[in-house]
Chains A and B, each alone.
Chain A
Amino acid sequence: MQANETDLAILDRILTGDQSAYRALISRHKDYAFTVAYRILNHREEAEEAAQDAFMQAFRSLNSFNREAKFTTWFYRIVFNAALGRKRKNKVITEPIEDFQLAGLGLTDSTDNFRAQERHEHLQRALRNLSPDDVTMITLFYLKEFSLEEIEGITGIAANTAKVKIHRARKRLAEELSRSLKDEARSLL
Chain B
Amino acid sequence: MHRWQTHHWQTQQGTVRDLRAIATFLADVGAQCQWNEAALYHLQTAVDEACANVFEHAYEGEPGPLVVEVSSGEREVVVRIRDWSDGFELGPPPIPDRTTPLEERPIGGLGLLFIYKMIDEVEYELDGKRGNCLTLRKRL
Decide whether A and B are members of one complex. no
| B residues lining the A interface (CB < 8 Å) | none
Interface positions of A (Cβ within 8 A of B):
none
